């Protein structure tokens, strides 16, 4: 995939997660939300020549981006996305956690996709 394809996939998954959560499918919503965050990281990592081929590389890229931008909240919000990924498999999140945690992941995805090098690609 090209950088812009990862960016678009992140946007698509973010919308799909909203639909899944709205329909009451917490597990699919969780996985789509994780997918949005993962593809946002893939987009910026690919743009900058960073590794993104496995989960550890995604985590490293998210941390590196947070450090570079001096926004530690991005690293924390990526951790919340990882929690949704685990929730897809284990269904452990409580109902009261989901709305606030969703907003943290949404902030992460929108922040990454609004970086000039990603937002200037005609989106």
What pLDDT does residue 70 have?
97
What pLDDT does residue 21 have?
98
- Other CB atoms within 10 A of residue 16 CB: 18
**Per-residue pLDDT reduced to its tens digit, 44-77:** 999 999 999 999 999 999 999 999 999 999 999 9
What pLDDT does residue 118 have?
85
What CATH superfamily classification does 3-119 receive?
A: Nucleotidyltransferases  domain 2 (1.20.120.330)
Residues 13-27, mean pLDDT to the nearest whole number = 98
What pLDDT does residue 122 have?
43
Residues in CB range of 83: below 8 A, 6 or more apart:
93, 101
Instruction: Please give the model's pTM, rounded to 2 decimal places.
Output: 0.94
Instruction: Kindly indicate the confidence band of residue 116, based on its pLDDT and cuts at 50, 70 and 90.
Output: confident
- Give domain limits for the chain: 3-119
H helices within the chain, ranges in order?
3-22, 26-48, 55-69, 72-90, 98-113, 116-119
**CA distance readout (Å), 28 to 11, 32, 87, 96:** 16, 6, 10, 17
Measure the CA–CA gap between 45 and 2, rounded to whole angstroms.
Answer: 11
């Amino acid at each position: 995939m090209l950088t812009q394809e990862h960016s678009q996939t992140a946007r698509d998954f973010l919308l799909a997660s909203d639909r899944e959560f709205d329909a009451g499918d917490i597990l699919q919503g969780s996985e789509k939300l994780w997918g949005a965050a993962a593809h946002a990281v893939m987009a910026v990592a690919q743009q900058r020549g960073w590794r993104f081929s496995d989960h550890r590389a995604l985590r490293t890229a998210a941390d590196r981006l947070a450090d570079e931008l001096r926004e530690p909240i991005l690293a924390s919000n990526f951790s919340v996305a990882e929690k949704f990924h685990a929730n897809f498999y284990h269904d452990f999140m409580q109902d009261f956690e989901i709305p606030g945690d969703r907003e943290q992941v949404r902030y992460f995805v929108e922040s990454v996709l609004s970086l000039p090098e990603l937002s200037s690609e005609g989106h």
